[in-house]
Every structure is written in C-alpha cells, then in structure tokens.
Structure 1
Amino acid sequence: MTTTNTILTPGGAADVVGVDFETTKEIGYYRLVWLRFCSRKVALVGAVVLLVLALACYVGPFLLPAQTVDLNVTDLAPFTSIHHILGTDDTGRDLLIRNLLGGRISLLVGASAMLLTITIATVLGALSGFFGGIVDSVVTAATNAVLSIPSILILVIFAKAFGQSILTIVLGIALIGWPPTARIVRSVILSVREKEFVEAARAVGTPRVGIITRHLIPNALGPIVVSASLTIGAAILLESALSFLGLGINPPTSTWGSLLNEGRDKLANPSGIFYSLWPGFMILITVLSFNYIGDALRDAFDPRSLER
C-alpha cells in the first residue's frame, strides 16, 4: 500500500509531490528540504547557471588559446573577430579570457570569504547563545560595533593597512560579514538549549563542546546554509566594489571588479561600454543566482516563511 506525501510549494499551497512512498517509510527531513528546494524552478536555473559559470571560469582558459599581448588587435570591438569573440583591451589581450580568469578570483574570494564568515559567525553565535552572561554581552557588543560602521569603510581601512591581496580582502570581508549570521545562530541556540535532549546530554555527562557541536549547531544548520548562500553573493559584490574603487587585489591579478574599473576609463570610446558590460553581466547573474538559491533554501528549511 502506498500513500502520497504533500509539501508546501512556493505558491503557499499544499501541492502534491509526484512521488509515492510506502506507508512504512518516513520522508527524512533533508529529503523534504530537497523536494521543497526542487519545487523552486528559478533556484534550479540559478544553480545550473552557477555550475556552468564556474566550469567556464576554471576550465575555459585551458581550452582557449594562451593569453598573449597582440598590439595589432588593440581595442577590438566584440563579435568582430572569430579569435576574439568579446573583443580585446588596449594591449590586445582577449577579453573573454580575462573575464574568465577574473571570474576565478572573484568566485574564489566569494567562496573563501563565505567559509571564513560562516565559521566565525557559527562559533561566536553558538558560544553566545549557549553560555550567555559575560560571553553573550561581549559577542553582542562586538556585533553591534561592527554593524554600526559602514562596511565599505572598514574594507578600505583594512586594505590600506594590510595590503591589497586575496588574503586581506577575504579577511576584511569576513570581519564585517559575520554579525548577521551570528545573531541568527545565537537565537536558534537560545531557543533549543533548554530542550529535553540537551538536558539529557548534560545528564549523561556530555562535555559542553560536545553539546554545542552535536546537539545545538545541527539545529541551526538550516539558517546557516541559507546565510552561506547569500554571503557568497554579498562577498562578490563587496570585492567588486572595492576593486572598482581601485582598492581591490593588486594587478596583474584581475577580478570582475577590477575589469569594471578598467572599463570606466574607456567609456568615451563607442566600443568601450562593452569593456565594462561583460564583467558587470557576470557579477549580475552570479549574485542573482546565489540570492535565488538562498531564498529557495530559506523556504525549503522553513516552509512557514512562505506564509509571511
């Protein structure tokens, strides 16, 4: 005998998922999350776009001719040469290859900043929520202090003080990015730290670290995953903004933001708009894709958000 299970869809109604399960089996929590996520078609499109873009950035340059300086084809307009589809810059370098190589660094910065940001936020949020007292007061004060200062100002000061490298940009973004996620983790920990399963763990002598890592943080996994997907897009935007101001990663390393900055000086040229168009378009579709995925993950982990 079989039964049909239902889940909430983005429309807010309880639609039937076209998969039958035996009554003796239960749908696992993460399977339900996956099914809810898959019901958001725009998020699936975003995931495919990100996969294709990442493959293009990391594999594409190996499949294309080696990057060279050719002064005979400087400032070539896009779609005028089979050998330089997106055109060339003022030194004859192929813009397609430059954008793909720049995408490598931008995606690397976004992913690295996300991992560091989420790690810091999870640790501080969990400690704040679990221990309370002076620990909670210190973390809350640090959170409010960071949030009270404009993010771009902190990044500019950080880059000027410690240099304009990939490492310093990642550290700077993590420094300003952890408070929102830490607040979320703290609130989840506060809501579950007095639950029966936590009290049972205390009763059998489970160390505090074990309680936090095995019982409390897993309950915050949903919000953490959602925050991680949104943090990557925000990190890419911050790096691009910093590079556009000329304070990003030092040349000759290119990012989408630094290519935007280079294109700013070429707008007087009729074909110069395309110089900034390509990296701008890459940033747009990347950030949009991560945001759509983040929205879908939020609804998948917490269907009640669809009703709000």
Structure 2
Amino acid sequence: MSESVKKKQEANAKLDAKQKIESPWTIAFRRLKKNKLAMMSLAILGVLVLSAILADFITPYDRDQINLADKEVRGKIMELPVKKEAPNSNFILGTDELGRDIFTRLVYGGRISLTVGLVAVFLQVIIGIIVGSVAGFYGGIVDAILMRITDIIMCFPFLLIAITVVAILGPSIFNVMLVIGLLGWTGIARIVRGQILSLREQEFMEAAEALGIRDSRKIFKHLLPNVMASIIVFATMGMASAILTESALSYLGMGVTPPTPTWGNMMQSARSIYSLQHHWWLWIPPGFLTFITVMSFNILGDGLRDALDPKMKR
C-alpha cells in the first residue's frame, strides 16, 4: 500500500473519530451557523446587549441630564431647557420635552427593557420547569391538580390581569418583572410536562429505577437535560414576549415609571397627535428598537428550534 493511501486512510479515520465524539450541542451550533438570518439576529442582539452594558461609556450625556438651548447662554441661571429639539449635530436623535438626549435615553432604556425581559423569563422558566417536571414525573392526582391550576391561569386575559396586578402593587421595575414572570410560566410548564411524560417511559429511566436513584435525581439529572432544547427555544422566544409586555405596560403608564427610561415609556411621551405628526424622533427610535429586538429574538428562536431538532438533516 502506497504512503499517500495510508495518509489518506489515517486522515479519514481521524475525521470519523472527530465526528463520532461531537456532542449534540456542537452539532446544533454547527447547524445554527448555517442559518444566516439566525446568526444575523444573534449579532444584532449582541450589539444591543453590549450597548446596554457599556451605556455609561457610549453616550456623551447623563441619562437624565437636561440640556440648555444655546452654548452662549448655557451658563445663565434663568435659561430654560430645550423643548423637543429636532436631531442636529449635538443631539443625533434630538431631545424630548425636557431637553434630555433621546439617544442617551434609548441606550439606557435598552438596559432596563432587556433586564426586565431576562429576569421575567428566568422566573417563567424556573416556575415552569418545577411545575411541569413534577406533574409529568408523578402523574395521577399530582398531574391533575397542577395542570388544572395551569389551565385556570391560562384562561385569564394576560394583559388585563397584568395591568390590574400592577395597578394594585404600584408601577415599578420589580413589580413588572414579577408580574410577567408569575403569569407567563404556563406554556413552558405544559411543554416540560409533555416531554417528561414521554421520556419517563424510556429504557434509561427503567435502569435508573432499578438502581434505586431518588426521584429528584431522576428529574434533574436524567430527564431535564433531555428537555433543555425545548426550554432554550421557549426562553428565547419568551424574551421577545416579555419585552413587548413591558413596553405595553410602560406605554400605558403601568410599567416602569419615569425618569427611568424604557423603550415603552419613551413612546408614551408621543401619545398626542401633534407629537406623532411633528416630533417623529420621540417615538420612531424606541419603536424601531423594540421591533428589531423582538424580531431578532423570534428569528433566533426559530433558528435554535431547527438546530436543536434531532430530526433535521445534519
């Protein structure tokens, strides 16, 4: 056998060995990289998150700084703040009714909106995993009780209940995150329950039962890792839903209260017809960022669903 043939066989053997030891997550990431829209969405979200983290270094003004009209009279005590200044060389996206820089408040608003979405989804996932895994694993009366509670919560109109609860507790960042998290876990609970009902009948669970492993270890060590793909997809899309809900509540005055900026309460200042027609810089930038963020999370969620689906071709 020639030397070149041996080298080719060795290279093929190494390639086969490398492919054999690839984990499911490595395979899923390779599939995701082939999805250009999903990777573009991931890049956009990365820029938004990085901007929110580095807001203190990106913007030339403080978050609530009131900027005076003219440089010549800026030192005068009686000078009044600018009233909704249009975009110019000093303020690339203009100012609001108090003379605050729109670009600065957009960056800081992204920090609050993304944080609210992240914390709310974290609460949803934790509650949904606990309820769904317990219901799916034990079944019977436990499953019936937990799922009926889930059905009752799903029957209520989400936004109406959220507005009512926030109105009672008072609008704040903490209350908004709490309400979205406590009312939005039903979907992931049903997903986790359905998959665990199927997984608990598999052979590896019979082996775990024969070994006498305690129930908590069966659930968190053997069952939940097999459900993580669905949980990740739900969390990604849940971020989009949570950001939209926060924006809606803030726009209605029931979310995060000024002067703390979010994309939702920034759009609230443009509720008048005059502002909609003549002060476009007040509502188009926060509306566009909300739209692009929600779309990016949804597209990334679709890409993750396809990448993590074992039935998809590699």
The one-letter code sitting in structure 2 at the alignment partner of 1:66 is Y
Q: Whole-Å Cα distance in 2 between the matches of residues 36 and 70 of structure 1?
A: 49
Matches within 5 A, 1:60-139: 60-67=55-62, 68-72=65-69, 73-78=82-87, 80=88, 82-139=89-146
Residue 93 of structure 2: SS of its match in structure 1?
coil
Unaligned runs of 5+ in 2: 1-8, 70-81
The one-letter code sitting in structure 1 at the alignment partner of 2:116 is V
Matched-pair contact (CA < 8 Å) for 1:263–1:276 = yes
1:9 matched residue in structure 2: none
Is the aligned partner of 1:51 residue 2:70? Answer: no
Deviates more, 1:102-111 or 1:28-37: 28-37
The one-letter code sitting in structure 1 at the alignment partner of 2:170 is G
1:277 matched residue in structure 2: 284
The match for 2:243 among 233, 236, 243 is 236
The match for 1:32 among 18, 21, 27 is 27
2:78 matched residue in structure 1: none
Matches within 5 A, 1:137-152: 137-152=144-159
TM-score (normalised: structure 2)? 0.87
Alpha-carbon displacement from aligned partner over 1:33-62 (angstroms, at most 9, x marks no partner): 111111111010001101111111221333
Query: Structure 1 residues 257 and 268, CA, compared in 2 at 3 Å: closer, same or farther?
Result: closer
Residue 17 of structure 2: SS of its match in structure 1?
coil
Q: Whole-Å Cα distance in 1 between the matches of residues 251 and 226 of structure 2?
A: 39
Alpha-carbon deviation of 1:266?
A: 6.4
The match for 1:42 among 37, 44, 56 is 37
Matches within 5 A, 1:261-276: 261-265=268-272, 267-268=274-275, 270-276=277-283
Query: Structure 1 residues 274 and 194, CA, compared in 2 at 3 Å: closer, same or farther?
Result: same
Q: Whole-Å Cα distance in 2 between the matches of residues 278 and 203 of structure 1?
A: 60
The one-letter code sitting in structure 2 at the alignment partner of 1:70 is N
Residue 22 of structure 1: SS of its match in structure 2?
helix
Matched-pair contact (CA < 8 Å) for 2:42–2:296 = yes
Is the aligned partner of 1:23 residue 2:19? Answer: no
Q: Whole-Å Cα distance in 2 between the matches of residues 253 and 63 of structure 1?
A: 18
The one-letter code sitting in structure 1 at the alignment partner of 2:67 is D
Unaligned runs of 5+ in 1: 4-19
Which is greater in Rg? 2
Residue 252 of structure 1: SS of its match in structure 2?
coil
The one-letter code sitting in structure 2 at the alignment partner of 1:75 is K
Alpha-carbon deviation of 1:236?
A: 0.1
Q: Whole-Å Cα distance in 2 between the matches of residues 268 and 160 of structure 1?
A: 27
Alpha-carbon deviation of 1:71?
A: 4.1
Alpha-carbon deviation of 1:209?
A: 0.2
Q: Whole-Å Cα distance in 2 between the matches of residues 266 and 106 of structure 1?
A: 26
Is the aligned partner of 1:177 residue 2:184? Answer: yes
Alpha-carbon deviation of 1:244?
A: 1.1
The one-letter code sitting in structure 1 at the alignment partner of 2:44 is V
The one-letter code sitting in structure 1 at the alignment partner of 2:86 is A
Q: Whole-Å Cα distance in 2 between the matches of residues 125 and 42 of structure 1?
A: 32
Alpha-carbon deviation of 1:86?
A: 0.3
Q: Whole-Å Cα distance in 2 between the matches of residues 55 and 37 of structure 1?
A: 21
Residue 124 of structure 1: SS of its match in structure 2?
helix
Q: Whole-Å Cα distance in 2 between the matches of residues 138 and 161 of structure 1?
A: 28
Bigger fraction of residues in strand: 1
The one-letter code sitting in structure 1 at the alignment partner of 2:41 is G
The one-letter code sitting in structure 2 at the alignment partner of 1:206 is I
Deviates more, 1:54-63 or 1:169-178: 54-63
